[in-house]
Structure 1
């Protein structure tokens, strides 16, 4: 590999801070959605919050590395700067491994909440155990890479410092290989289960695409290898470390974003309802006519429904009878022409004693989900699928 680990300190600060802000915002939105909107907070939310907290600390440590000379030649730095640069470099190593560990646990516990299949859960638990075991090693090897620990930041600075360190090239590349393997395993683990769901093609592909976004983390991990090699064999760490620091920070932040993505749509719709509004006035679900709501916020739709005595948010058929004088108002809901239908979804009108009877049937647009074994999926899976447009 080429010895290409250098970039400017300003680039490290700009990229790491920007992606950390995105990760913190997405985590905050996830926590708000899960705890306050859905009131279904779980252990996966705790782990993702811990990972976000640690990645903030990781970004701070990298910015302090830049402050003390990362991106400059080591010979141009003072003894004081070299010592603090190496100190924050040491801190960034175990913060990186710890934050990455919590992000992966958050994703796996999220899988456990969503997918109830026994075989899947066994594989999920096995992967949790493996990730926990290898992460304990990576964190331990980062903290105690030198004996005594202080030798990590004193070597080459204090002539009287005496100690020894692990082989950086061997340790860091073993850790990187295990990390890439677990990234791939976490990404592909839910795909067979999603594929087995009896869903329309579009929502199934949408679900698979969301979970496959974890593959972006794998790509970042692979791109990080070249810069990792550069710093592991370098005699001028302050000059060759910036790219490795940048890619490491990106890897954790993108992992957090991928973990939060499946829960963000509900929160986005809450504050920006027009983003996911449909342009179609009517749609058909299982042969039953439903009413679109393009161009309406949640509050305006509620007022419109209440004004004509109709409620569309529950499950099962909801029947409303309105007088002829209110028919025009009903027909213009959602900005499109709506023809009344019978309970069977026909377009025929009924006249009874001069009163126009309009029957509107509202059904859940998501069909019942079943895996190939014929076993019904849980409500958690249904809720996940309903987060994506059909």
Structure 2
């Protein structure tokens, strides 16, 4: 690839060399759409790993496959950006023979990485679902999808990494291509068929994987907060599915990319951009449910203020003949202050009498005479008993409300959020 016959077809009907570049073919479009999403996807992966290793301390195989997917995504991104310097976005016939092999090698690596990655990210999501579905039908559904997608990924990954025997025949234009097949462009029909079949199956598996957790909405005790969170994740997954459908449309309309004429570097940029965005969004969708609860809790501690309400509760005190307890204490304090600050010949006598009275009370408490009566009076008070005795309400010893404890129990669920 390309063969001598293909080169003759391109030279027979050369495109206009001065044709304006479409928006998707411009260098700034390719760089601006791929690089930012790659960076955000890696941020999501790092936050996910931080939660799994440092907060939950429960790393799993789903984390391993997410990291593997992110690495493949990075390699595909780098090789795609290198392909721009070799002619991606321009007409293939005008990139020059010196750039042809370099472009085909870059495309070979990025395309193989993408095809492998479509399986890796779905496997990661299914392994993540197995953490939720501990038993029952949904666990078997996830295991079945895991087996089918793994076989699909192995088959198409092999065909993408070995499109020719040896694989160097794919990018070395000086060699014959009679041992190539499928992605190796032995002929137009087989080349289009393998691209279309992979894209259709990829879209179907995307839909199946992102619809699988919808059964969680049937959980009767699901809180509103969890419903909103799950809805957000599924909407994010819907964007991934939409990107996959859009990519299918672009490959179908350009016939991967051989229509209206064969021009690999001119028709493929939009499909390459969508391929990169699909993987980046899928990685973010798989990672957000892991780290978002921790981020939400941290933001709540920073931005949410707590409202404190100070209230005053008064109760009747019939024994003293006063309206409220606080008024009684206030009047007693006023009388004591007046006795200590009174003028005239009785001030010293009042002070002596006050101190003697206080000393007598302390002695009586120490000797167990007056203190026991005073302590017993407090614990016969209905209001005090209601605050310290949790069984006061059940025993009927007070009309006040005591402490109540409700324990709600139910059957063990087959999944947990």
Give the secondary-structure state (helix, strand or coil) at the position aligned to 1:131.
helix
Task: Tell me what 1:90 maps to.
Answer: 108
Does residue 176 (structure 1) correspond to residue 203 (structure 2)? The answer is no
CA contact (8 A) 1:5 1:243 kept: no
CA–CA distance in structure 1, aligned partners of residues 24 and 225 of structure 2: 44
Task: Tell me what 2:167 maps to.
Answer: 149
Task: Tell me what 2:68 maps to.
Answer: 50
CA apart distance, 1:270:
5.8
Give the secondary-structure state (helix, strand or coil) at the position aligned to 1:254.
helix
CA gap of 1:5–1:13, structure 2 versus 1, over 3 A, is: closer
Does residue 71 (structure 1) correspond to residue 89 (structure 2)? The answer is yes
CA contact (8 A) 1:31 1:45 kept: yes
Task: Tell me what 1:320 maps to.
Answer: none
CA–CA distance in structure 1, aligned partners of residues 404 and 64 of structure 2: 37
Task: Tell me what 1:18 maps to.
Answer: 36
Structure with more strand by fraction: 1
Task: Tell me what 1:257 maps to.
Answer: 284
Task: Tell me what 1:199 maps to.
Answer: 222
Gaps of at least 5 residues in structure 1 are: 278-293, 296-333, 342-349, 385-390
CA gap of 1:92–1:336, structure 2 versus 1, over 3 A, is: same
Which of residues 167, 181, 196 is equivalent to 1:165?
Answer: 181
CA–CA distance in structure 1, aligned partners of residues 312 and 246 of structure 2: 58
Q: Tell me the number of residue pairs that the alignment of Structure 1 and Structure 2 aligns.
A: 306
Deviations 1:247-286 (A, max 9, x none): 00011011101101111223324653457x6xxxxxxxxx
With normalisation by structure 2, the TM-score equals 0.66
Task: Tell me what 2:54 maps to.
Answer: 36
CA apart distance, 1:363:
10
CA–CA distance in structure 2, aligned partners of residues 110 and 159 of structure 1: 45
CA gap of 1:221–1:363, structure 2 versus 1, over 3 A, is: farther
Give the secondary-structure state (helix, strand or coil) at the position aligned to 1:232.
coil
Does residue 220 (structure 1) correspond to residue 243 (structure 2)? The answer is yes
Greater CA radius of gyration, 1 or 2? Answer: 2
With normalisation by structure 1, the TM-score equals 0.70
CA contact (8 A) 2:164 2:177 kept: no
CA apart distance, 1:182:
0.7
Gaps of at least 5 residues in structure 2 are: 1-21, 183-189, 314-381, 390-400
Give the secondary-structure state (helix, strand or coil) at the position aligned to 1:262.
helix
Deviations 1:296-315 (A, max 9, x none): xxxxxxxxxxxxxxxxxxxx
CA–CA distance in structure 1, aligned partners of residues 53 and 77 of structure 2: 27
CA–CA distance in structure 1, aligned partners of residues 170 and 109 of structure 2: 11
Which of residues 237, 242, 247 is equivalent to 2:274?
Answer: 247
